[in-house]
Amino acid sequence: MPELPEVEVVRQGLSPQILGQKIAAVLIREQRLRFPVTPELHHFILGQKILEISRRGKYLLFTLKKGTLIWHLGMSGSLRVLSKEKLPQKHDHVELRFGNGMILRFNDPRRFGCLLFTEEDPLRHRLLSHLGPEPLLQDFSANYLWQKSRKRKVALKVFIMDSKTVVGVGNIYAAEALFAAKLHPLMMAEKLSLEQCQLLVKVIKAILRRAIKQGGTTLKDFVNSDGKPGYFKQKLQVYGRGGQPCFSCQTELIEKKLAQRATVYCPTCQKNK
DNA sequence: ATGCGGACCTGTTAGC
DNA sequence: TGCTAACAGGTCCGCA
């Protein structure tokens, strides 16, 4: 479900509601997520306040005085804040209850998400330590991307979706960014010119920013922490439009599999291969 | 080191 | 209508 914009939308929605709140209870209904949820999680976090909610890539980091919760929504996860008790739904796996009565509930049908606790610097955690730069920060630059792509014989789409290259660019926004930059998804990364890197970095930043502003993309069931959908779907140019005409030149958009992911592009607009 | 494929899951949809 | 296969927004791991 969530790419970086969706995770950021969740982070922004969550923050005002639970920042500064004390964790009064932890409920684990299903511990079999991507990694097992520690049954003794409450020993570590009960009574602690949420000092900050930040994001690294698609990982949400809940900073406590002692330690950090690392929360990933996987492909189908969602976090909702409830102001009053509601019957738990199917796949409501974990919840935190706060001093003010608010409930933070994690639902994840596919269980690709995870919830981990660490007392060390979370950025040095093995899941986070090898991540590339944040796309919206300055260190994700044309120069960086150009350097990083030298001698990389991988399809460009695979390259920009690799979290070691840059975090947060998932299947939707990779397709959209490549279309916006008029770059062929199958082009070898090493063939990128510096000018192409400049354009690509620019469009990735612009598209992610715009999607965040729109509240993310709701394809099917993405909702933010208030349960509201995102509105970026109306803006999608290629994702999910295989076989339909390109909005720019009317050519039929091509859809094929690339590294097991559906990949859509315009064979006319995205020429350089 | 790099590139590729498989694995982890459930729910929904397309196709016969 | 009903069964089966394919597919879905992510990413880690292991093999060549």
Phi, psi for residue A195 in degrees, rounded to 5? -65, -40
* Contact positions of strand C to protein Cβ (< 7 A): 7-13
- Does residue A11 have an active-site annotation? no
**Protein CA at A54 to nucleotide C1' at B1, angstroms:** 32
- Catalytic: A176? no
Q: Nearest 5°: phi and psi at A151?
A: 65, 15
Mean pLDDT of chain A: 94
Residue A185 has pLDDT above 90, yes or no: yes
Whole-number distance in Å between A259 CA and B4 C1': 8
Check whether A219 has a pLDDT greater than 70. Answer: no
| CA to C1' distance (Å), from A186 to B4 | 15
The CA distance from A178 to A163, in Å, is: 17
What integer is the mean pLDDT of A139-152? 98
* Residue A246 burial class via C-beta count within 10 angstroms: exposed 0-12, middle 13-18, buried 19 and up: buried
Strand nucleotide closest to residue A73 (CA to C1'): C10
pLDDT at A134 over 90: yes
Contact, A256 CB vs strand B, < 7 Å = no
Host H or E run for residue A196: helix A194-213
User: What count of other Cβ atoms lies within 10 Å of the Cβ of residue A48?
Assistant: 17
Q: Which residues contact A194 (CB under 8 A, 6 or more apart)?
A: A142, A143, A146
Question: Once rounded to an integer, what is the mean pLDDT over residues A193-204?
Answer: 98
Whole-model pTM: value is 0.96
- pLDDT tens for A222-238 read 767 777 777 777 789 99
pLDDT in tens, A41-85: 999 999 999 999 999 999 999 999 999 999 999 999 999 999 999
Q: What is the pLDDT of residue A232?
A: 75
Of A27-41, A47-61, A209-223, the range with the lowest mean pLDDT is A209-223
Answer with the residue of higher pLDDT: A218 or A207: A207
Higher pLDDT, residue A6 or A273 = A6
Provide, in whole angstroms, the distance separating residue A245's CA from nucleotide C3's C1'.
Answer: 34
**Any catalytic annotation for residue A58?**
yes
- Taking the C1' atom of every nucleotide in all shown strands and the CA of A164, the nearest one is C11
Mean pLDDT of A122-140: 97
What pLDDT score was predicted for residue A273? 67
